[in-house]
Amino acid sequence: MHRSDDYLYDQIASQLMAQILAGAYKPGDHLPSENELATQHGVHRLTARQAVTALVEKGLVYRLQGRGAFVKEPKLDYAIK
Amino acid sequence: MHRSDDYLYDQIASQLMAQILAGAYKPGDHLPSENELATQHGVHRLTARQAVTALVEKGLVYRLQGRGAFVKEPKLDYAIK
Amino acid sequence: MHRSDDYLYDQIASQLMAQILAGAYKPGDHLPSENELATQHGVHRLTARQAVTALVEKGLVYRLQGRGAFVKEPKLDYAIK
Amino acid sequence: MHRSDDYLYDQIASQLMAQILAGAYKPGDHLPSENELATQHGVHRLTARQAVTALVEKGLVYRLQGRGAFVKEPKLDYAIK
DNA sequence: GTGGTCTAGACCACC
DNA sequence: GTGGTCTAGACCACT
């Protein structure tokens, strides 16, 4: 098990999650693309991608092929985590 | 959506799954390492890793850091899928 | 049916083909990537991609996933076309 | 406290350090990978890794994730050690 | 022009 | 010696 934020992708994921929870990205909003995230954070696209994947696994966002990643409609459960 | 086996990792995953269901790898058994799978199939380790990840997501195997990947004890649900 | 060079991708393909036949790219050589071709010709990457695809279909080059496109060893048949 | 060169990794580190100070590896140069060092010296990769870590701690080299280890620009301080 | 897959090869964390 | 992360950069599938 690893502590959160030990890794680059965790840091990026945490930051995005904070922005989502703060309402900077609202349900249905388009997240920055993997390329944008990579450029913004100075990492490779795959690392940015891992961050988005982490949020998908947390149930905060979903991806559409060829479209991008979007904020999910909150379900009661992710305020609890 | 993509058809199964369109991709290399799907092919490897399908083959491993078949072997697990056929009993070639039994619950608790150690799967070949990512490096072995990569060598056997002539792919990069990451592609082999994606195959194992697919099986993890299907609930057929689990991973232990520094140890390897192992066949799960079957639960009633994966005969159904 | 369309006349050759009606389309941008045909022009790019023709140019690449000329370079290959002239020996600027030799068998086994790595062609410029789709991104490079797109930038060089000021076109969308998809257009550059179509050019390379045309050469693949002509049998002049082959692609390797994650590697790029390479000039084929000439076989008797492509002098005929 | 241990005497230098009591351990394999110290011997490898000393050797690398000598090569750096002799200019065989110059500032910015890429050191051999951990795997190469392990093979060259017939040791386990972890041992090779410890050697590089020792040089990092001495301030002679730095590591970049996914890239390798590189010789540092000399700063006044490592003549002192 | 996005996300999806793949190659190549490195270091990191753990057993 | 395994899986985990990361870089670099390519092609693939889809909108």
| Virtual torsion, Cα A10, A11, A16, A20, nearest 10 deg | 80
Lowest mean pLDDT among A9-13, A48-52, B24-28, D43-47: D43-47
Bases on strand F under 7 Å from any protein CB: 1-15
Buried b (16+ CB within 10 A) or exposed e, B18-33: eebeeeebeeeeebbe
The count of other CB atoms within 10 Å of the CB of residue B16 is: 24
pTM recorded for the entire structure: 0.68
* Residue in the structure block whose two tokens are 């290399």: B8
Asked whether residue C62 carries a pLDDT value surpassing 50, the answer given is yes
CA distance C73 to B34: 34
Residue A50 pLDDT class (50, 70, 90 cuts): very high
CA distance D13 to D39: 15
Q: What is the pLDDT of residue C53?
A: 87
Residue C26 pLDDT class (50, 70, 90 cuts): confident
Helix (H, G, I), strand (E, B) or coil at B44: coil
The answer to whether the beta carbon of residue B3 comes closer than 7 angstroms to any atom of strand F is: no
B partners (3+ CB pairs within 8 A) are none
**Number of H helices and number of E strands within chain A?**
3, 2
The one-character DSSP state at C70 is: E
CA distance D21 to D26: 8
The answer to whether the beta carbon of residue D18 comes closer than 7 angstroms to any atom of strand E is: no
Asked whether residue C23 carries a pLDDT value surpassing 50, the answer given is yes
Tell me the CATH architecture of domain A8-78: Orthogonal Bundle (1.10)
Asked whether residue A80 carries a pLDDT value surpassing 60, the answer given is no
Asked whether residue A9 carries a pLDDT value surpassing 80, the answer given is yes
Helix (H, G, I), strand (E, B) or coil at A70: strand
pLDDT tens for A23-38 read 999 999 999 999 999 9
Asked whether residue B2 carries a pLDDT value surpassing 60, the answer given is no
Whether the CB-CB separation of C62 and C72 falls below 8 Å is answered with: yes
Mean of pLDDT values over A64-73: 90
pLDDT tens for B44-69 read 999 999 999 999 988 899 998 889 99
Nearest residue for F8, CA–C1': A44
* Domain at D8-79, CATH from 3.30.110.30, 3.30.420.240, 1.10.10.10, 1.10.3810.10: 1.10.10.10
Asked whether residue C1 carries a pLDDT value surpassing 60, the answer given is no
Rounded distance in angstroms from the CA atom of residue C1 to the C1' atom of nucleotide E9: 46
Q: What is the pLDDT of residue C5?
A: 57
Q: At what angle do helices C45-58 and C8-21 cross, to 10 degrees?
A: 50
Phi and psi, residue C60, nearest 5°: -85, -30
C25 to A31, C61, C74, C81: CA distances (angstroms) = 42, 10, 12, 19
Residue D16 pLDDT class (50, 70, 90 cuts): confident
The answer to whether the beta carbon of residue B63 comes closer than 7 angstroms to any atom of strand F is: yes
Whether the CB-CB separation of D50 and D34 falls below 8 Å is answered with: no
